[in-house]
């Protein structure tokens, strides 16, 4: 079995850090919550699949520095070196894109949400297919509950982003529109 | 989590991780993840029922950093331990797998034609969607500063007789700068939580973290031994700071009657000839009608009392300084985005009376009535800028040159750091300009002084603030690389390392 071979190869890798848990010891816990194939099954826990490396690096940095207060992420990143963060970000970028929500689509909701995406230019910063670019994250196929939670937190200034772009962007977006956007974006491949 | 791990599961995960780590390494080119056979979507999320009215978001009370709560040992939720078997999908699709693709919603349309009609009067009507415009996004620098040997100091161009060198590296997200009476250079930041102090000891320069855990400490001012720090929604002070650089006391908050909006919330701080502290409160949006607490420059006494609105109609100023002779306040202002590539330009303004209104959001750059808010108003009602500073150039930190090192043509004018545009297909700015003034305080010319921050329409560095040191040289902060450069003239003493 393939994983047997790579497991043996993996056993040969040693990443030594000065902390209680090395990077390689922590990664299984990351994947346990966030999903092994890039898709999270857990409420309000984001899918990480195919996330842009610069964005992941920024968020991991914010967690490590406790600029973004969100357990268990602050604990999970404690003591990781800058290089560990880069390694993790690159690893995350290689996870498969998240599986979007499946099911019959409400076409009226989709059309209305597409208009919102146009109007608020989500598809500019996040790229036309919402797969993200550079420091702007992939959002296509993200968990619907996480999208709603995140947009609300940005709008209410509760979540302090790295820069303030999302707070600015969401200023004219209503809560009802946030719900509609999340519906659509969670179903995008 | 650990007790529920079986050895077999640990091996499976280890294999996955090993595979991923290998893929991240030299094998990446040969084994792109896409070529791996897709495992059956065992983890396929069941279709959400139409989202019921979501429960009101339980917004956690904002915790002032660095409130490090006693974090429990991380335990992933038990549900994660069970990888769901390929259960029959709860989705309403006729079958899982390829058929699901039929119900995937189409990607956001590239052509405006497919979008439903925009509301009347919407500024978005007629706006083309074309490929180059559709990649525009604010640019955030990496959080970790660039290594000293990676700094593009050799790419910068300055006029003949001037020289640029690295003053300090490893100053993450270096932004506003101030010099203390004893020569300490204080540096604020916008995206991280630190204030740095740069000191010279035995001829060597050291970068220290002075404070950590602050909230966007972009604004700094220094007077009579006291350092003032402007975070997003509070202003603090620390007395006798240069005597206590190794263990600085906790800053004392002197003023916090400030909105908490993230958007344009970070502050610039300056002390006027009247000894008052000046700072701005930016508009909490790209373009909106601000409250009477936003879109302004305020001033307060050094003890935090006597708050007064000094200038209004200011969208977001992140740099200001006082004319050494007339004592008038000059400030840069960032114009709105998404109106057009070229209009409105950013501004350099001059305040001649308390409460003066500079136009935002009704009128930008003195002669551009805003398409959304300008109706029923005239630009003639507001004070126009003394100079237009270029489209989306992000003119930020500025200082009047009061030193004696630079030649005569640089006396009495203003150095302005133009951070550089993001909302423009061909980037504009990304340089330091010198503004020459007429005797009456109006602007004679705006000329590039330090360029080379842009290469092939990409930033290799971005200037955020300038500072005239006591020796007459000019410091330029680069928040993109986390570094500070020093520009000197002629035989100006070489900055020692």
What is the three-state SS of chain B?
A: CHHHCCHHHHHHHHHHHHHHHHHHCHHHHCCCHHHCCCCCCCCCCCCCCCCCCCCCCCCCCCCCCCCCCCCCCCCCCHHHHCCCCCCCCCCCCCCCCHHHHHHCCCCCCCCHHHCCCCCCCCCCCCCCCCCCHHHCCCCCCCCCCCCHHHCCHHHCECCCCEEEEEEEECCCCCCCEEECCCCCEEECCCCCCCEEEEEEECCEEEEEEEECCCCCCCEEEEECCEEEEECCCCEEEECCHHHCCCCCCCCEEEECCCCCCCCCCCCCEEECCCCCEEEEECCCCCCCCCCCCCCEEEEECCCCCCCEEEEECCCCCCCEEECCCCCCEEEEECCCCCCCCCCCEEEEEEECCCCEECCCCCEECCCEECCCCCCCCCHHHCCCCCEEEEECCCEEEEEECCCCCCCHHHCCCEEEEECCCCCCCCCCCCEEEEEEECCCCCEEEEEEEEECCEECCEECCCEEEEEECCCCCEEEEECCCCEEEEEEECCCCCCCC
Q: Which of residues 453-492 of B touch A (CB under 8 A)?
A: none
pLDDT for position A23: 87
Q: Using one digit for the tens of pLDDT, what is the confidence trace for B293-304? A: 999 999 999 999
Contact with chain A for residue B147, Cβ under 8 A: no
Report CA-CA distances (Å) from B494 to A160, B163, B165, B263, B489.
41, 10, 9, 40, 10
pLDDT value of residue B89? 36
List the Cα angle B322/B326/B327 in 5-degree steps.
35
Token readout for A184 is 């659509």
Contact (CB<8Å) B124/A158: no
B41 touches A: beta carbon within 8 Å: yes
pLDDT of residue A24: 85
Q: Which residue of A has its CA nearest to B35?
A: A96
Is the pLDDT confidence value at B4 over 60?
no
Choose among A10, A39, A41: nearest Cβ to B79.
A41
Minimum distance, in Å, between the CA of residue B206 and any CA atom of chain A? 21
pLDDT of residue B120: 57
Q: Tell me the percentage of chain A whose pLDDT exceeds 90.
A: 84
pLDDT band (50, 70, 90) for residue B161: very high
Quick one: closest CA in A to B112, which residue? Answer: A118
Chain A residues in contact with B294 (beta carbon < 8 A): none
Task: Look at residue B442 and tell me whether its pLDDT is greater than 70.
Answer: yes
Q: Please report where in the chains the tokens 């161009």 appear, as a residue.
A: B157
Q: Which of A3, A85, A187 sits opposite B105 (nearest CB)?
A: A187
pLDDT at B93 over 50: no
Q: Over 80: is that where the pLDDT of B426 sits?
A: yes
Q: What pLDDT does B491 receive? A: 72
Confidence at residue B134, expressed as pLDDT on a 0 to 100 scale: 76
Is the CB of residue A117 less than 8 Å from the CB of residue A123?
yes
Which residues 6+ apart lie within 8 Å of B266 measured at CB?
A: A164, B190, B216, B218, B219, B232, B282, B318
Contacts for B308 with CB less than 8 Å, ≥ 6 apart: B298, B299, B300, B354
pLDDT of res. B151: 98
Give the model's pLDDT for residue B54: 36
User: How large is the C-alpha radius of gyration of chain A?
Assistant: 18
CB contact under 8 A, B43 and A41: yes
For the residues B46-67, what does the mean pLDDT come to?
A: 37
Q: What is the pLDDT of residue B407?
A: 97
Q: How many CB atoms lie within 10 A of CB A92?
A: 24
Q: Is the pLDDT of residue A7 over 50?
A: no
A32 to chain B, closest Cα gap in Å: 6
**How sure is the predictor about A36, in pLDDT bands with cuts at 50, 70 and 90?**
very high
- Assess whether pLDDT exceeds 70 at residue B1: no
Question: Among partner residues A39, A54, A103, which is closest to B93 by beta-carbon distance?
Answer: A103
Provide mean pLDDT across the span B26-51.
38
Q: How far apart are CA B291 and CA B238, in angstroms?
A: 31
Specify whether the CB–CB gap between B398 and B321 falls below 8 A.
Answer: yes
Count A/B contacts: CB-CB distance under 8 Å. Answer: 286
Q: What percent of chain B has pLDDT over 90?
A: 71
Q: What is the pLDDT of residue A84?
A: 96
Higher pLDDT, A15 or A52: A52
For residues B495 and B471, the model is more confident at B471
Give me the pLDDT at residue A15, please. Answer: 41
Chain B, window 331-350: residues with a beta carbon less than 8 angstroms from a chain A beta carbon = 338
Asked if the model's pLDDT at residue B269 lies above 90, the reply is: yes
Q: pLDDT-derived band of residue A21, with 50, 70 and 90 as boundaries?
A: confident
For A163, the closest of B122, B140, B284 (CB atoms) is B140
Across chain A, mean pLDDT equals 90
What whole-number distance in Å separates Cα of residue B228 and Cα of residue B330? 20
Phi, psi of A134 (to 5 degrees): 50, -125
pLDDT band (50, 70, 90) for residue B214: very high
Range A18-31 average pLDDT: 80
A64-102 pLDDT, tens digit each? 999 999 999 999 999 999 999 999 999 999 999 999 999
Least confident residue range of A155-159, B108-112, B201-205, B345-349: B108-112
Higher-confidence residue of B42 and A87: namely A87
For B458-473, what is each residue's pLDDT tens digit? 999 999 999 999 999 9
What was the pLDDT predicted at B103?
52
pLDDT tens for residues A104-117?
999 999 999 999 99
Average pLDDT across chain B, whole number: 82
Residue A22: pLDDT band with limits 50, 70, 90: confident
User: What's the pLDDT at B225?
Assistant: 98
* Contact predicate B173/B143, CB 8 Å: yes
Q: What percent of chain B has pLDDT over 70?
A: 73
Average pLDDT of A182-189? 96
- Per-residue confidence (pLDDT) for residue B468, from 0 to 100: 98
Place of tokens 């935002």: B360
Q: Which of A67, A90, A146 would you mutate first to test chain B, the one with the most B CBs within 10 A?
A: A67
């Amino acid at each position: 079995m393939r994983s047997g071979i790579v497991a043996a190869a993996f056993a040969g890798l040693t990443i030594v850090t000065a902390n209680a848990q090395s990077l390689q010891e922590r990664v299984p816990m990351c994947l346990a919550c966030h999903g092994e194939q890039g898709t999270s099954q857990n409420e309000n826990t984001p899918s990480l699949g195919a996330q842009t490396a610069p964005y992941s690096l920024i968020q991991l940095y914010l967690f490590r520095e406790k600029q973004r207060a969100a357990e268990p992420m602050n604990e999970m990143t404690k003591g990781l070196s800058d290089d560990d963060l880069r390694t993790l970000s690159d690893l995350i970028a290689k996870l498969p894109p998240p599986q979007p929500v499946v099911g019959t689509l409400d076409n009226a909701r989709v059309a209305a949400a597409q208009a919102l995406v146009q109007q608020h230019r989500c598809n500019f910063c996040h790229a036309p297919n919402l797969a993200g670019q550079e420091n702007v994250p992939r959002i296509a196929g993200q968990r619907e509950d996480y999208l709603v939670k995140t947009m609300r937190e940005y709008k209410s200034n509760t979540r302090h982003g790295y820069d303030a772009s999302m707070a600015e962007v969401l200023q004219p977006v209503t809560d009802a529109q946030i719900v509609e956007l999340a519906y659509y974006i969670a179903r995008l491949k | 989590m650990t007790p529920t791990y079986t050895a077999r599961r640990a091996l499976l995960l280890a294999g996955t991780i090993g595979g991923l780590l290998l893929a991240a390494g030299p094998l990446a080119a040969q084994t792109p993840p896409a070529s791996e056979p897709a495992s059956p979507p065992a983890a396929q999320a069941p279709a959400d029922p139409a989202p019921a009215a979501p429960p009101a978001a339980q917004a956690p009370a904002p915790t002032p950093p660095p409130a490090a709560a006693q974090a429990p040992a991380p335990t992933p939720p038990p549900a994660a331990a069970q990888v769901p078997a390929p259960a029959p999908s709860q989705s309403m699709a006729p079958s899982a797998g390829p058929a699901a693709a039929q119900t995937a919603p189409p990607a956001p349309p590239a052509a405006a034609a497919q979008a439903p009609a925009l509301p009347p009067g919407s500024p978005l009507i007629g706006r083309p969607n074309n490929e180059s415009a559709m990649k525009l996004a604010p640019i955030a620098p990496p959080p970790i500063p660039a290594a000293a040997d990676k700094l593009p100091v050799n790419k910068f161009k300055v006029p003949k007789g001037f020289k640029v060198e690295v003053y300090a590296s490893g100053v993450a997200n270096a932004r506003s700068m101030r010099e203390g009476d004893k020569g300490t250079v204080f540096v604020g930041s916008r995206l991280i939580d630190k204030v740095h102090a740069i000191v010279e000891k035995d001829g060597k320069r050291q970068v220290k973290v002075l404070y950590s855990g602050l909230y966007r400490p972009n604004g700094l001012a220094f007077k009579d031994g006291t350092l003032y720090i402007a975070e997003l929604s509070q202003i603090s002070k620390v007395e006798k700071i240069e005597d206590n650089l190794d263990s600085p006391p906790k800053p004392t908050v002197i003023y916090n009657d400030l909105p908490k909006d993230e958007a344009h919330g970070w502050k610039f701080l300056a002390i006027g000839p009247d000894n008052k502290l000046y700072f701005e409160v930016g508009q909490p949006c790209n373009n909106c009608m601000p409250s009477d607490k936003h879109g302004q420059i305020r001033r307060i006494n050094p003890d935090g009392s006597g708050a007064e609105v000094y200038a209004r109609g200011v969208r977001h100023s992140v740099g200001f300084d006082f004319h050494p002779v007339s004592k008038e306040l000059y400030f840069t202002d960032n114009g709105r985005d998404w109106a057009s590539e070229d209009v409105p330009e950013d501004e350099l303004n001059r305040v001649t009376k308390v409460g003066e209104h500079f136009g935002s959001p009704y009128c930008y750059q003195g002669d551009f009535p805003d398409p959304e808010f300008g109706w029923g108003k005239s630009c003639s009602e507001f004070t126009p800028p003394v100079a237009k500073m270029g489209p989306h150039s992000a003119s930020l930190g500025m200082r009047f040159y009061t030193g004696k090192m630079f030649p005569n043509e640089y006396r009495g004018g203003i150095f302005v750091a133009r951070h550089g545009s993001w909302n423009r297909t061909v980037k504009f700015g990304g340089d330091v300009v010198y503004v020459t003034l007429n005797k009456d305080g109006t602007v004679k010319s705006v000329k590039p002084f330090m360029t080379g921050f842009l290469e092939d329409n990409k930033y290799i560095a971005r200037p955020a603030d300038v500072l005239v040191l006591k020796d007459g040289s000019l410091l330029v902060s680069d928040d993109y690389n986390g570094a500070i450069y020093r520009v000197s003239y002629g035989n100006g003493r070489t900055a020692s390392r």
